[in-house]
Structure 1
Amino acid sequence: MAQILAPSPQWQMRVSKNLMDVGPLTPKMWSSLVLKQSKKGAIKTSSKFKVYALQSENGTVNRVEQLLNLDVTPYTDKIIAEYIWIGGSGTDVRSKSKTISKPVEHPSELPKWNYDGSSTGQAPGEDSEVILYPQAIFKDPFRGGNNILVICDTYTPAGEPIPTNKRYRAAQIFSNPKVIAEVPWFGIEQEYTLLQTNVKWPLGWPAGGYPGPQGPYYCGAGADKIFGRDISDALYKACLYAGINISGTNGEVMPGQWEFQVGPSVGIEAGDHIWCARYLLERITEQAGVVLTLDPKPIEGDWNGAGCHTNYSTKSMREDGGYEKIKKAILSLSLRHKDHISAYGEGNERRLTGKHETADINTFSWGVANRGCSIRVGRDTEKNGKGYLEDRRPASNMDPYVVTSLLAETTILWEPTLEAEALAAQKIALKV
């Protein structure tokens, strides 16, 4: 396996304290600046290049940065494709880079590739090859240019989807003619928590201690309320650059916790966009020296957990008379509550307690504008007689391929018996 080592200290150029006041140094400013330095600056020379090592306490200018920002398009048609897939835990993202001979516009133009599945918990060592099938392309905000990010799913050499390949089953559901006709829309609210690197404690919290109680942090502003806004903003712009259908961000109820929303997205696209956004967030937090967690209850006690609320509608729900379709969908969801809960993320029982804006994990409920229910219906939906529903049960670490396809399957393809339907209608007391 190839390894990439971090730049050594010898590559770092230290800049004096008074020079840092002028702001970031561009290559042009750097060239001008070193020519004006006094003899106190230590100058090392060779027959090929010069390195100006300026001693400083405060900042560093790393010349590797210049190479990272190189625009190679004038010199080659080749591009870098970052192949991304989901690892053996079902929540980790993995990736590796491949040179492609020219820019591409569709995944079908890309070759299949492979990786060592024994190192990701997805194959035995004696038969470790797993094949990557390119499925969706996004622009690469880290490398820029024509370089791309490639969302892949995973198969055996014989072409069978491996057990962690949840996209394959989702694609089958979303390609069903009945599902296609209903044009299922999804809007996914991905919550996440930022942790300090060394102590694995939320960003902005005193080490081993607690901030003030929840209240001022949600959508707040100020250094004593908001921690990690630069990461949230960086993700926002990276998603827009990549072509991810991000629709907003906000600070969450627990300090150090954030949310971004993706959608409305149609069918399988919702899962592709969430997984790519998660990959971008992992890369951004990696660069920022902060740890990302999608644990649904990262801090026990009187603190909100982290969910992945999924807003959902079909063509029938969005049309006149759609409210009746929404209530029928809720009825079907009530009958398959256990099936959905079992597929909605690991550790979700620690979050769905009936407190902190959640419903109890064992009890299905719905209500208008009620964030303490399993399914919430908006006031506008009730008023207009059409719209969407919000499934508030999924955990922050849920697989969006699983959740979106299961919602479509339950509400479009699955048919309950008349007896079960009647019993469920009585139980959850559906009202017009």
Structure 2
Amino acid sequence: MAQILAPTSQWQMRITKSSTTASPMTAKMWSSLLLKQNKRGPTKSSAKFRVLAVKSEDYTINRLEGLLNLDLTPFTDRIIAEYIWIGGSGVDVRSKSRTISKPVEHPSELPKWNYDGSSTGQAPGEDSEVILYPQAIFKDPFRGGNNILVICDAYTPQGEPIPTNKRARAAEIFANQKVIDEVPWYGIEQEYTLLQTDVKWPLGWPVGGYPGPQGPYYCGAGADKSFGRDISDAHYKACLYAGINISGTNGEVMPGQWEYQVGPSVGIEAGDHIWASRYILERITEQAGVVLTLDPKPIEGDWNGAGCHTNYSTKSMREEGGFEVIKKAILNLSLRHTDHISAYGEGNERRLTGKHETASINTFSWGVANRGCSIRVGRETEKQGKGYLEDRRPASNMDPYVVTSLLAETTLLWEPTLEAEALAAQKLALNV
């Protein structure tokens, strides 16, 4: 199992008696000490000063951990802001750091910045400048103190959203008064798979081989069932520290696969929190020496894929009589099934096969407590006559800005023709 934040295998030094006036020992001083010891022969134990060292291949002394853990707060008002944006693939996260003169509480206090879009597949080389607009702030769990993570979206120098900026369109939808009045809630279940670094094979799997069949791994415990729990737990705590609305985590059906849940979040906040949580997960797996993949079907065959099930409700759905509102929303979703599928993640056709707790990508369906449907409604929602629906179609690599805003648009702003509505209602009645 990977070790989080483990120091590199370099020289490690412990001094049994601390001194507030002692200066750091340099590599030159350490070499001199070793030379003197060799000349004098074996040294006697000293109660005042003793050095214990573990030798490594490169004969260096590791001081990185101490520097990385430095708390700058007592010494300067300046902070480090890590600007984060989505790269050209629409799935990759990029970031770079800058110094800000003082702590900030709102993204409007931060300056815009730019980056080389030709290096991220987002701009041509002859006109490569892309502008970052700060949109959301989170506490930085890696640097601590007043340092922050900044979720940004990207624009041309003329102020137009670049094609991969899906947040801008989502913000327009969530700014619509009809949507605002319905206070849309989202609970997003992000599944992911951990891979061994060199072979790109799931964590805990024998290289070139397979573990036992699925069954004991889901929410399982034990060295032969749970692979990567330290990463999941580190991510959980880091998200809580950052201020991300993470609500839980669990081991998934396929070994080496995990899930965490974010929400309930309102409107555009859901996308900001998912992207921030993905960035933190990328950084943790980087430190652990494990590869993170959001591929919706990382292993072909009789293994579960990875989704990003999205739970959704509006004010009207949560009030008395809400179940009828949910049914109307499902009807609208059925009529725009193709539009949603095309926006729900690359490679999703490899996952939505009608097997492994999925519905077929080509067929829209819904049911109560049925995880083999496109849309699932919980037993409690049926019993209470109000609640939420779960869209089980989004892939693990979906863009949360796209999925959340599309759900709001289809259920709150889009109106089907009467003929289409009647035909869809008839089909859904037969389906149920």
TM-score by length of structure 1 reads 0.89
* Cα separation, partners in 2 of 1:316 and 1:430, compared to 1, 3 Å: farther
- Cα distance in structure 2, aligned partners of 1:55 and 1:302: 46
Q: Deviations over 1:321-362 (max 9, x none)?
A: 000000000000000000000000000000000000000000
Q: Is the 8 A contact 1:13 1:63 kept in 2?
A: no
Q: Is the 8 A contact 1:327 1:430 kept in 2?
A: no
Shift of 1:431: 9.5
Q: Is the 8 A contact 1:193 1:294 kept in 2?
A: yes
Alignment map for 1:190-229 (pairs within 5 Å): 190-229=190-229
Q: 2:143 maps to which residue?
A: 143
- Cα distance in structure 1, aligned partners of 2:79 and 2:56: 39
Shift of 1:67: 0.6
Q: Deviations over 1:274-305 (max 9, x none)?
A: 00000000000000000000000000000000
Aligned: 1:273 with 2:273 = yes
Q: Is the 8 A contact 2:10 2:56 kept in 1?
A: no
Q: 1:315 maps to which residue?
A: 315
Shift of 1:44: 2.4
- Cα distance in structure 1, aligned partners of 2:17 and 2:225: 37
Q: 1:262 maps to which residue?
A: 262
Q: 2:30 maps to which residue?
A: 43
Q: 2:71 maps to which residue?
A: 71
Q: Is the 8 A contact 1:183 1:266 kept in 2?
A: yes
Alignment map for 1:52-201 (pairs within 5 Å): 54-56=53-55, 62-201=62-201
Q: Is the 8 A contact 2:365 2:431 kept in 1?
A: no
Q: 1:427 maps to which residue?
A: 427
2:30 partner letter: I
Q: Deviations over 1:130-158 (max 9, x none)?
A: 00000000000000000000000000000
1:367 partner letter: G
Alignment map for 1:29-40 (pairs within 5 Å): 31=18
Shift of 1:14: 4.1
* Cα separation, partners in 2 of 1:311 and 1:60, compared to 1, 3 Å: farther
**Alignment counterpart, residue 10 of structure 2, candidates 4, 8, 12:** 12
* Cα separation, partners in 2 of 1:112 and 1:224, compared to 1, 3 Å: same
- Cα distance in structure 1, aligned partners of 2:381 and 2:287: 42
- Cα distance in structure 2, aligned partners of 1:55 and 1:314: 59
Q: Is the 8 A contact 2:182 2:316 kept in 1?
A: yes
Q: Deviations over 1:382-404 (max 9, x none)?
A: 00000000000000000000000
- Cα distance in structure 2, aligned partners of 1:177 and 1:43: 68
2:31 partner letter: K
- Cα distance in structure 2, aligned partners of 1:29 and 1:238: 32
- Cα distance in structure 1, aligned partners of 2:348 and 2:161: 27
Shift of 1:62: 2.5
Q: Is the 8 A contact 2:10 2:54 kept in 1?
A: no
- Cα distance in structure 2, aligned partners of 1:374 and 1:210: 30
Q: Deviations over 1:44-79 (max 9, x none)?
A: 259xxxxx7824479997311111111111111000
Shift of 1:12: 3.0
2:267 partner letter: G
Q: 2:41 maps to which residue?
A: none
Q: 1:19 maps to which residue?
A: none
Aligned to 1:304, the other structure's residue is in SS state coil
- Cα distance in structure 2, aligned partners of 1:357 and 1:161: 37
- Cα distance in structure 1, aligned partners of 2:100 and 2:149: 12
Moved segments of 4+, more than 2 Å: 28-32, 42-46, 52-62
- Cα distance in structure 2, aligned partners of 1:270 and 1:85: 16
Aligned to 1:310, the other structure's residue is in SS state strand
Q: 1:383 maps to which residue?
A: 383
Shift of 1:101: 0.2
Shift of 1:430: 7.3
- Cα distance in structure 1, aligned partners of 2:358 and 2:403: 18
Q: 1:248 maps to which residue?
A: 248
Shift of 1:13: 1.4
Question: Higher relative CO (CA 8 A, sep ≥ 6), structure 1 or 2?
Answer: 2
Q: Is the 8 A contact 1:310 1:391 kept in 2?
A: yes
- Cα distance in structure 2, aligned partners of 1:395 and 1:71: 39
- Cα distance in structure 1, aligned partners of 2:352 and 2:248: 25
Aligned: 1:364 with 2:351 = no
Q: 2:36 maps to which residue?
A: none
2:130 partner letter: V
Q: Is the 8 A contact 2:225 2:255 kept in 1?
A: yes
Q: Is the 8 A contact 1:43 1:53 kept in 2?
A: no
Aligned to 1:12, the other structure's residue is in SS state coil
Aligned to 1:126, the other structure's residue is in SS state helix
* Cα separation, partners in 2 of 1:89 and 1:365, compared to 1, 3 Å: same
* Cα separation, partners in 2 of 1:133 and 1:427, compared to 1, 3 Å: same
2:162 partner letter: I
- Cα distance in structure 1, aligned partners of 2:239 and 2:184: 22
Q: Which blocks of at least 5 consecutive residues in structure 1 are unaligned?
A: 1-7, 16-24, 36-41, 47-51
TM-score by length of structure 2 reads 0.89
Alignment map for 1:411-426 (pairs within 5 Å): 411-426=411-426
Aligned to 2:31, the other structure's residue is in SS state strand
Aligned to 2:231, the other structure's residue is in SS state helix
RMSD between aligned alpha carbons? Answer: 2.3
Q: Is the 8 A contact 1:345 1:399 kept in 2?
A: yes
- Cα distance in structure 1, aligned partners of 2:261 and 2:211: 26
- Cα distance in structure 2, aligned partners of 1:162 and 1:86: 11
Q: Deviations over 1:2-50 (max 9, x none)?
A: xxxxxx99x93146xxxxxxxxx7xx76858xx9xxxxxx93259xxxx
Q: 1:351 maps to which residue?
A: 351
Q: Which blocks of at least 5 consecutive residues in structure 2 are unaligned?
A: 1-6, 23-28, 34-50
Q: 1:405 maps to which residue?
A: 405
Quote the sequence identity (%): 85
